[in-house]
Structure 1
């Protein structure tokens, strides 16, 4: 392909940014594939390489199953669109800006942040005990998940300080009465984290609905299992999972890369 006509050049961005745009658009498609969307109301972001701390987030109003690399909007930490073109046509979700800018400002290690409003995630977020160690999926997060109390729709910028303080050094957080939030040092890791947390919440809702006494593993087993996950997962594992996930959405038509 002629460099001048490459997708990155045509979009006026670097090759590195274009790759992140393609991967982030793919993650939106994967969230739709797994039916973890809430119409147009949740959001996923990814940091763009460079010292400016710019990040990409969805253009408000595009359904996740239709997301393309070119639909993603680059903004700064003040919420300003920082790319060429008609800015008025590239609106972003204000609550999404509040939540994601908070994490990207404070956690440079987290390249990607994903937020969902699924029935299971919302249900667990409303349960007083939060995520229970009922399943292997849940024990990945044992002692490694944060909680943030509900303050209303995330439109107040002063909530960012409390979001960051509650998240601490974790990569997963339950937003009380709201939904789930995860981060990853890569888009691939963020996908695996939201996959595992969503599965854990769905299993918990199903188990609690059965009306029978539940078995909780001993404390030592919970800690051991969480440590096993931490030791097993690395960039090679994330890449393997990501490559398998992409095959679910490409189906010969990888138009998310456009």
Structure 2
């Protein structure tokens, strides 16, 4: 009878998992390239298809820019490492395991990227999706979690964050950072990138102290639907990043 270690090694080498490991590593390197990283902190994960209790995660102690497919680890919903050469960081396991389990989202990207994190420090704790075109793509997809409890070092805090999402794709964590979810890595990374672009535009616009021009709810909803119907752009962007960062 196979033990968990042998099974983990087999899963690690399955062709679909090898592809996902490569895609997750690319997303991490892309995030570093775009300035979204913070030391060796923050984490990206993707659930394994047909194995909902297992997910891929970047390891502890590596900078995003250096991560390759072989550095990715497999973790189960209880935080046990199933396969991989590196250790895992506790807060990553608690946040990501809970979000995967409770929200059923396949891809979970957690970042302290600068402009989005800056907006988590404000009273409103988030992005105004009635301002820039980039922001409108997220209309009705964001929730704000204003309750900051320190580091997520237990299951209860990870579960609290997951429940606070209430089914939304994106959560602004008050005084902390953001989590962006989707069911595909390329879509999730595209959202992460344009979320930071939208946040940077809002921060810059507000810094002028000029009156800001908002757009109607109807237009915001229209733009969000237009972006969702043109996801080929997300796929092409991720492939372009693969060519640049290979």
Instruction: Measure how far apart 1:10 and its partner are.
Output: 9.8
Contact 1:11/1:70, CA 8 A, preserved across alignment = no
> Which residue of structure 2 lines up, in the alignment, with residue 241 of structure 1?
237
1:119 aligns with 2:114: yes
Q: List gaps (5 residues or longer) in structure 2.
A: 1-8
Task: Indicate which of 201, 214, 224 corresponds to 1:226.
Answer: 224
* Cα distance change on mapping 1:238 and 1:113 into 2, 3 Å: same
Looking at structure 2, the residues matched to 51 and 18 of structure 1 have their Cα atoms a distance apart, in angstroms, of: 15
* Cα-Cα RMSD: 1.9
Looking at structure 1, the residues matched to 225 and 52 of structure 2 have their Cα atoms a distance apart, in angstroms, of: 35
Looking at structure 1, the residues matched to 91 and 117 of structure 2 have their Cα atoms a distance apart, in angstroms, of: 17
> Which residue of structure 1 lines up, in the alignment, with residue 140 of structure 2?
143
Looking at structure 1, the residues matched to 51 and 57 of structure 2 have their Cα atoms a distance apart, in angstroms, of: 18
Q: What is the TM-score normalised by the length of structure 1?
A: 0.85
Instruction: Measure how far apart 1:169 and its partner are.
Output: 2.0
> Which residue of structure 2 lines up, in the alignment, with residue 101 of structure 1?
97
Q: Secondary structure at the match of 1:82?
A: strand
Within 5 Å, which residues of 2 pair with 1:71-220? 71-83=71-83, 90-108=86-104, 110-129=105-124, 130-132=126-128, 133-148=130-145, 149-220=147-218
Q: Secondary structure at the match of 1:56?
A: strand
Within 5 Å, which residues of 2 pair with 1:13-28? 13-28=13-28
Bigger RCO (CA 8 Å, 6+ sep): 1
Q: How many residues align?
A: 235
